[in-house]
């Protein structure tokens, strides 16, 4: 809806009523000047056009000058806002990065702990007679060398059970509570363990001395002096508390052993660095092994029986193979013999064939020679008879006999001149 003329007058009157005298004059002057400009703007005067262009240029420059600081402030405000936003995002990203780094570090720690615990589980294969326990700090122990474990009678820990670290002997259980138990270390002076020294299988008793060493007792020094290599100390199994063959430590013989000096055993494990140990009951292990052996005896017998059957079958097959090999060798020999006989017979046949051909040739030659000789004999006989009886068969003027050289003449001569 467009404003009416009355509304314009009312607004103008309100403006005059609210302003002072000087302000009213300025307002009237401005209104009057604007009306004049509007009237002059309706005419096409060059002066008015120049004035309008000048006023527009002044207004444009003024607006540019006035808007410059505003744009500057606005741009700076946007830049500062972007920087603040980037700062907040960067701060947030740094916080997230620190969180992720902490999380990653925690994961790495967990992975390392898992690897360590996995290695522990691998080293301590937990059976029914085994329990893995954590070592607790024991500052008020009445023993010289002992540790407290976080497993007790609740976990079936009993007095006298053996404590190992990665298969090496640590000590034995001497006190059991519901949640905890105490281990007397082999480094304690009250610890007496029957041991076996290898090589040589020398028997002795080892007593604790300090954190990392033990000392041998009741050992023949002469036997030790004969050993010129590193001596391994193992449990001997005497007394039935420890099973035989558990490694304890070693005796260094590089510097030589004196007869009167203590034989020091260097333990394989550092007992001050223990974190997890394995508690084992070898008596229970023996029962389990016996039960396992009993349960597997029938299977073992069946396997033995099956093995025997397989061996018998194998023996029969080997005998059959041996017989087949002998038959094959015999047949091969007979084949070779027959082949040799065949070759021999072929050679003889070839020889006989050649002899037959030779004899045939000789017979032919003989026949030819005989025939030739016969002709010669007949010719000689003819010549002889021709001398004797030729005149009886020869044709002449007085008779009509045969002409010399004809077959009839020859026959007549051979018949001694007789016509028939």
Q: What is the DSSP string of 136-186?
A: EP-SS-SSSSEEEES--GGGT--TT-EEEETTEEEEEEEEE-SS-EEEEET
**Residue count of the chain:** 420
Highest mean pLDDT among 20-24, 116-120, 141-145, 208-212: 208-212
The strand pair at 264-267 and 247-251 is best described as: antiparallel
pLDDT at 294: 58
Distance separating alpha carbons of residues 49 and 57, to the nearest angstrom: 12
Tokens for 143, please give them.
């023993």
Which residue has better confidence, 158 or 272? 158
Q: What is the mean pLDDT of residues 85-91?
A: 82
Omega cis (within 30) before 199: yes
Has residue 373 got a pLDDT over 60? yes
Distance separating alpha carbons of residues 32 and 24, to the nearest angstrom: 12
Has residue 1 got a pLDDT over 50? no
Q: What share of the chain is helix, strand, coil (3-state, %, to 5)?
A: 60, 15, 25
Which residue has better confidence, 35 or 139? 35
Distance separating alpha carbons of residues 183 and 138, to the nearest angstrom: 10
pLDDT at 122: 47
To which CATH superfamily is domain 130-280 assigned?
Answer: Rod shape-determining protein MreC, domain 1 (2.40.10.340)
CB distance 264 to 197 below 8 Å: no
pLDDT at 184: 85
Q: Percentage of the chain surpassing pLDDT 70?
A: 69
CB distance 185 to 271 below 8 Å: yes
Q: What is the mean pLDDT of residues 54-76?
A: 68
Confidence of residue 310 (pLDDT cuts 50, 70, 90): confident
Q: Percentage of the chain surpassing pLDDT 90?
A: 0
Which residue has better confidence, 9 or 340? 340
Has residue 20 got a pLDDT over 60? no
Confidence of residue 125 (pLDDT cuts 50, 70, 90): very low
Q: For the whole model, what pTM was predicted?
A: 0.41
């Amino acid at each position: 809806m467009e404003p009416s003329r009355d509304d314009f007058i009312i607004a103008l009157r309100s403006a005059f009523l609210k302003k002072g005298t000087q302000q009213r004059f300025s307002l009237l002057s401005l209104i009057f000047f604007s009306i004049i400009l509007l009237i002059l703007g309706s005419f096409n005067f060059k002066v008015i056009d120049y004035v309008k262009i000048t006023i527009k240029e002044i207004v444009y420059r003024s607006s540019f000058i006035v808007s410059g600081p505003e744009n500057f402030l606005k741009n700076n405000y946007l830049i500062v806002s972007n920087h603040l936003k980037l700062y907040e995002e960067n701060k947030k990203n740094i916080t997230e990065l620190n969180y992720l780094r902490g999380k990653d570090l925690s994961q790495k720690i967990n992975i390392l702990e898992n690897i360590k615990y996995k290695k522990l589980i691998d080293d301590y294969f937990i059976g029914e007679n085994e329990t893995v326990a954590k070592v607790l700090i024991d500052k008020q122990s009445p023993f010289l060398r002992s540790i407290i474990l976080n497993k007790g009678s609740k976990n079936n820990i009993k007095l006298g059970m053996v404590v190992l670290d990665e298969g090496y002997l640590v000590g034995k259980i001497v006190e059991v509570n519901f949640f905890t138990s105490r281990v007397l270390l082999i480094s304690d002076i009250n610890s007496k363990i029957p041991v076996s020294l290898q090589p040589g299988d020398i028997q002795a008793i080892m007593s604790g001395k300090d954190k990392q060493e033990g000392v041998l007792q009741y050992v023949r020094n002469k036997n030790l002096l004969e050993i010129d290599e590193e001596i391994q100390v193992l449990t001997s199994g005497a007394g039935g508390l420890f099973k035989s063959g558990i490694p304890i430590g070693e005796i260094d013989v590089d510097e030589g052993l004196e007869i009167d000096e203590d034989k020091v055993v260097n333990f394989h494990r550092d007992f001050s660095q223990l974190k997890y140990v394995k508690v084992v009951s070898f008596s229970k292990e023996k029962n389990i092994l016996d039960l396992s052996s009993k349960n597997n005896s029938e299977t073992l017998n069946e396997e033995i029986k099956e093995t025997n059957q397989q061996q018998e079958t194998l023996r029969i097959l080997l005998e059959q193979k041996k017989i087949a090999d002998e038959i094959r060798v015999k047949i091969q020999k007979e084949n070779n013999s027959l082949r040799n006989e065949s070759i021999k017979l072929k050679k003889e046949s070839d020889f006989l064939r050649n002899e037959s051909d030779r004899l045939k040739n000789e017979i032919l030659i003989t026949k030819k020679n005989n025939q030739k000789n016969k002709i010669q004999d007949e010719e000689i006989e003819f010549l002889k008879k021709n001398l004797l009886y030729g005149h009886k068969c020869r044709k002449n003027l007085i008779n009509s006999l045969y002409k010399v050289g004809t077959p009839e003449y020859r026959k007549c001569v051979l018949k001694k001149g007789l016509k028939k």
